[in-house]
Amino acid sequence: MPNSDLLPSLLFKINENQLALEAAIMELTLWVEQRGAGEVAQNVRGALGVIDRNEEFIKLTLAVLMAPE
């Protein structure tokens, strides 16, 4: 398998890891918020918003890279 064929798979796995980390961080955010640290939770949600904003672009790019030629 040529190295160029590995790039889409690598990017897919990195994106998958990113989404898993986002879910885990959100769980911790909810836990923190339930314990009265609403400001901390709000800050974390703001940072997670970056992941949400970039997710659609990442999905579209992966679709293009993985499309048959």
**Is residue 68 pLDDT above 80, yes or no?**
no
Q: How many residues does the chain have?
A: 69
Question: Total structural domains in the chain?
Answer: 1
- Give me the domain span that covers residue 12: 3-66
End-to-end CA distance of the chain: 16
pLDDT tens digit sequence for 14-66: 989 999 999 999 999 999 999 999 899 999 999 999 988 898 898 888 888 87
Cβ pair 38, 64 in contact under 8 A? no
CA 65 → CA 36, 50, 52, distances in Å? 44, 22, 21
Q: Which residues contact 18 (CB under 8 A, 6 or more apart)?
A: 51
* Structure confidence by residue, pLDDT tens digits, 42-56: 999 999 999 888 988
